[in-house]
Amino acid sequence: MATAQTLRQKERRRHLWIYAGLTPFVFIAVFPIYWMLITAFKQDPDLYRMDNIPFWFNLAPTLRHFKILFFQTNYGAWIVNTMTIAAWVALITLVTAVPAGYALARLRLPAAENIGISVFMTYLVPPIILFLPLSRVVAMLGLQDEWWALVVVYPTFTIPFGTWLVLPVSVPGVLTAVIFAFTLSMQDFLYGLAFVAPGDQKPVPVGVPTELIRGDVYYWGSLMGAALLVGLPVAVLYNFFLDRFIQGITGGVGK
């Protein structure tokens, strides 16, 4: 009995050490999100003063920043754009990546592996090399300054990955590919910045930093609210298939 108890004590002490070691990591990871959250609900006079402790509300919380977002900016339109773009990208990814994944995995094509690796490798060609030629392609298609341009270019990073993610071709595989296409189309900034200029055509991650900041005037409350409202659900969704993602990049290539 005595040994069982000391064992348990030892185990508990080990856990305490691990928690102590993890605390700084969790703090560093989560603090900026906490800071966005509290900023989004603080009244302006509470945001812009230095003599109070800033980590909690010194004045009553407010929804004013969200009101500004939805009634005085294009935020509502950006959310609709983002969702529509993501849905189209998911659809394109599905109709291209699922058949491709199936063919690569099941049909024993002679060149399957090389084709698979080449498709996957395109994921490594960074957008910064492609965005200038793609801007010409987008112009040729007559899509410059419309969010449709993004529907055309985002599948370039979802297809290579989707092809690996749908294996085995199954409901969870397909679902993963859909979530992946959804979240990945919200991770982009460069293409949205380069191809879509009109204020009401932008997706959220591009609209918020480019339209809500005017000159040197920052509406930090609205900015943080706008960022968080879309960012947090995406982060949570992404979290669910992060292991699949890592598996995809570390094992999706090679033999």
Contact 125, 224 (CB under 8 A): no
Which neighbouring-strand residues pair with 213?
Answer: 218
| Min dist. Cβ of residue 63 to another protein (A) | 19
Residues 70 and 190: their CA atoms lie apart, in Å, by: 25
Q: Which of residues 215 and 251 has its CB atom nearest to another protein in the complex? A: 251
| Min dist. Cβ of residue 3 to another protein (A) | 21
Q: Which of residues 2 and 183 has its CB atom nearest to another protein in the complex? A: 183
**Two tokens, residue 227:** 């960022």
| Min dist. Cβ of residue 79 to another protein (A) | 13
Q: Which of residues 14 and 67 has its CB atom nearest to another protein in the complex? A: 14
| Min dist. Cβ of residue 62 to another protein (A) | 17
Choose among 35, 74, 31: nearest CA to 220.
Answer: 35
| Min dist. Cβ of residue 247 to another protein (A) | 5
Q: Three-state DSSP class for 73?
A: coil
Q: Which of residues 1 and 13 has its CB atom nearest to another protein in the complex? A: 13
Residues 255 and 165: their CA atoms lie apart, in Å, by: 16
Cis peptide before 203 (omega within 30 of 0): no
Q: Which of residues 1 and 24 has its CB atom nearest to another protein in the complex? A: 24
Cα→Cα distances 181→83, 177, 210, 220, Å? 11, 6, 24, 30
